[in-house]
Amino acid sequence: MKVLLEHALVEPGVEPGVLVGIEDGWIESVRVARPAGAARTLPGLTIPGFANCHSHAFHRALRGHTQQERGSFWTWREQMYAVAAELTPDTYFTLARDTYREMRTTGITAVGEFHYLHHQPNGTPYDDPNEMGKALLAAADEAGIRIRLLDTCYLAAGFGQPPEGVQVRYSDGDAHAWAERVAAFDDPRVGAAMHSVRAVPREQLKVVVEAAQDGPLHVHLSEQVAENEACVAAHGMTPTQLLAEAGALGPMTTAVHATHLTDDDIELLGGSRTNVCFCPTTERDLADGIGPARRLHDAGATLTLGSDSHAVIDMIEEMRAVEMHERLASQQRGHWSAIELLAAATYDGQRSLGFDDAGQIAVGQRADLICIDLDSIRTRGADPTVETAVFAATSADVVCLTTRAGTSSGTRLERS
């Protein structure tokens, strides 16, 4: 299939008239200069598909139901736990499928699903101990989105505290039992995560790190000041220092949120080339705070993005919010360029999920292409640039995508 892209982001920047040859979901040729007789034209600005690197699909059920409550992250968590207590493999599947479908319509071609809802409500495993995880894989297949299922080790309610209430659904008892269950998946789409240093005892962190081998390892980090205080009280060090001690930091690791960090934490994350996944629409929804995105980047960490609780699913808004939040915090503009933010939402995000073959419009890459309408009510009059895509458009301007998602579906060209 030959597709003519009216404008496209290719090396070294946005070009008009790019002819892309796509075979079986892969890019086979990229030619700049407007040729005659192309089979199909994608209007607007075509960019690589988005990687949503941090998702809890079932949190989507809370949208529109939690905004009247006063409180904090911790009071919101009680509402989220009430949903978690009720879910079955069937309702988990339905929620996830519909959430992933929403993601696709907004240009997301890959998702990192941070999955800890493993067992029955009383904590007993299902007949197939991976039934809940398999529901997510099936949901991704049906929605046509590529998934990295980040199976999450979650063993404790806090430092030295056993799981409480609905948390018994999350726990495998210890990290070895978690690793054994995850190994039984025998599916290349499965990766590793630990919920947080709150939820995995210090001496068991290394077990998860070893089980992840050289694949992706994701972990929530310092989203809340209370987590830092409890960690320092229990172990005399910050959560970042605890992860460093366990050998958990590095280029295949993603620290999610990384909101409340010390100078030393920033050096540890940057020096180890760890990814930091910011989820700005969730972080502001939950009153978490504003993390030091630019300082982390300048120290050597790689920014990625996620929609996390799905209060909003719009990767363009996530990109823009990184810059806007820094402006509010610093009273200065111009911390991030549009191309840096787009790299976080595409190329760098795909790599943090272990997808080395996506995130660029280039030969040998997956044909994950999305196009941004440059003639919508929001974008009309702006130049065909990355700045327009990041700072003027919204997910409603993602008008079509071509992708080969999952394992079974062929290449599709769709209009959203």
Residue 349 phi, psi dihedral angles, 5° rounding: -65, -45
| Active site amino acids | 257, 308
Burial, 70: exposed, middle or buried (Cβ in 10 Å; 0-12, 13-18, 19+)? exposed
Question: Tokens 């319509």 map to which residue?
Answer: 105
The type of residue at 370 is I
Which ranges of 217-354 would DSSP assign to H, the alpha helix?
225-235, 239-245, 263-271, 280-285, 293-299, 315-330, 338-345, 347-352
Torsion of CA 80, 158, 199, 157, to 10 degrees: -50
End-to-end CA distance of the chain: 20
Q: Which of 314, 306, 311 is nearest to 63 (CA)?
A: 311
The distance between the two most distant Cα atoms of the chain, rounded to a whole number of Å, is 68
Q: Which residues pair with 414 in a beta bridge?
A: 401
Q: Which residues pair with 68 in a beta bridge?
A: none
Cis amide leading into 16 (omega within 30): no
Token code pair at residue 170:
């999350």
Q: Which residues pair with 25 in a beta bridge?
A: none
